[in-house]
Amino acid sequence: MSKYQLPIVASDQIPLVELEVMNQVHREEVEMINQLGTLLINGLEVEPEIEKISHSLMAWIDHTQEHFEGENKMMMEHGFPAYPVHKGEHDQVLSGLESLQAQWLTEFNLEALADFIFIEWRNWFDSHVKTMDMVTAQFLGRFIR
């Protein structure tokens, strides 16, 4: 039995926040990460489809960048007091994802990518949504519906 289990995040297990627009982006992200996870598991068990994995990884990182930019914009526009902290975490995560992608494109190490996505990202996503996003959505819910 693989140490990697799908789905990485079940769509009905995504912590919900007060703003539906944020929930929708989280659902899209989880769908993309689960597709990437499927490619990785298949690659570890059979034959890796490097090009498909690379494309899926790039699409997910692009989506994450847009996701963070959208949240950052809402926080800034409405004067969210903890904006610098929340944006700082977004910046740190994006930097890590860019490094992950660069490492993937030079080494094509399936297990390193899978460890990050199935373990590190999974833990970060759950924690981030339940803390920073929850508080942010609660604040922004006074301005946005």
Q: Among 101-105, 125-129, 141-145, name the one with the lowest average pLDDT.
A: 141-145
Reported as a single tens digit per residue, the pLDDT across 16-60 is: 999 999 999 999 999 999 999 999 999 999 989 999 999 999 999
Closest by CA to 67, choosing from 40, 87, 47, is 87
Q: Which residues contact 138 (CB under 8 A, 6 or more apart)?
A: 17, 18
Question: Given pLDDT bands bounded at 50, 70 and 90, which one contains residue 1?
Answer: low
**Which CA distances in Å does 18 have to 30, 33, 34, 78?**
18, 23, 24, 16
**Phi and psi torsions of 114, nearest 5°:** -65, -45
Both tokens of 50, joined, read 């490097």
Reported as a single tens digit per residue, the pLDDT across 104-139 is: 999 999 999 999 999 999 999 999 999 999 999 999
Number of Cβ atoms within 10 Å of the Cβ of 103: 14
> Which is more confident, 47 or 88?
88
**Which CA distances in Å does 68 have to 9, 89, 92, 110, 123?**
19, 10, 11, 26, 18
Q: Which uninterrupted H or E stretch holds 9?
A: none
Single pTM value for the model: 0.94
Give the pLDDT of residue 61: 98
pLDDT at 78 over 70: yes
Superfamily grouping for domain 31-140 = Hemerythrin-like (1.20.120.50)
- The residue ranges of every structural domain in the chain are 31-140
Range list of H helices, 2-144: 20-45, 50-77, 83-107, 110-115, 122-128, 134-140
